[in-house]
Structure 1
């Protein structure tokens, strides 16, 4: 007996990873200064600052940008809560982190 094919697993975490990866690749191809920068994804920052919970952390000495998944997903106030607007929020955080890096 052959089982029907299962749909691909599509989780919130995988969609987040895909959005960050696509935005990072776009930025690397557009700016030479970002070619060697490591875009990483973390769940939650270890500490908060005076300005609240960061959505990203930039480390220019190590050429790293860390995008924090949980603060972006949980603390963003979207005017429309759908896949498109969630992806746009994730991409905007990656773009703003890259702008801070530059």
Structure 2
């Protein structure tokens, strides 16, 4: 009716609905999102330690390095550094599927991802990784 204000409701007269997961269920987490979270936290940390040297560096994530064929027997790199573009690319699958850890648990896999970020930053800066993030290496 033109002169009458109508109440705003969702379809079928119901109130707005909550999220699909609801307040009780945890958010879905995948290996990819966990990798991105750990790598992004490590990148933020190292950029906060070296703001003048790494402030303009782009940290990127990719599944695999380009050009790696399945039939080749090569060592797959964990990261790639491009000093001209000022970018660091960390590769997810080598770190998650081929981890070089002595204990295969979540904490050691996290340390492997963080270590790749620190080693890549060290390579870009021309420093050793333990100089780039000395506090993170103290207990390992």
The answer to whether the superposition gives a TM-score over 0.5 is yes
| Post-superposition offset of 1:77 | 2.8
Distance in 1, Cα, partners of 2:55 & 2:91: 21
Shift of 1:52: 2.2
Runs of 4+ in 1 over 3 A off after TM superposition: 2-5
The residue number in structure 2 matching 1:75 is 98
2:66 match: 46
- Superposition pairs for residues 1-102 of structure 1, below 5 Å? 5-31=24-50, 32-48=52-68, 52-102=75-125
CA distance in 2: counterparts of 1:77 and 1:38, whole angstroms: 25
Task: Quote the offset at 1:5 in angstroms.
Answer: 3.4
Query: Secondary structure at the residue paired with 2:100?
Result: coil
In terms of Rg, which structure is larger?
2
Is the Cα contact below 8 Å between 2:60 and 2:90 reproduced in 1?
A: yes
Aligned residues: 100
Q: Deviations over 1:70-102 (max 9, x none)?
A: 011111232211111110000000000000011
Structure 1, gaps ≥5 residues long: none
For structure 2, the residue ranges without an aligned partner over 5 or more in a row are: 1-17, 69-73, 126-140
More helix by share: 1
Preserved CA contact (<8 Å) 2:62 2:90: yes
Q: Is the contact between residue 65 and residue 91 of structure 2 (CA under 8 Å) also seen in structure 1?
A: yes
Deviation for aligned residue 1:47? 2.3
Give, in angstroms, the shift of residue 58 of structure 1: 0.3
TM-score normalized with structure 2 length: 0.66
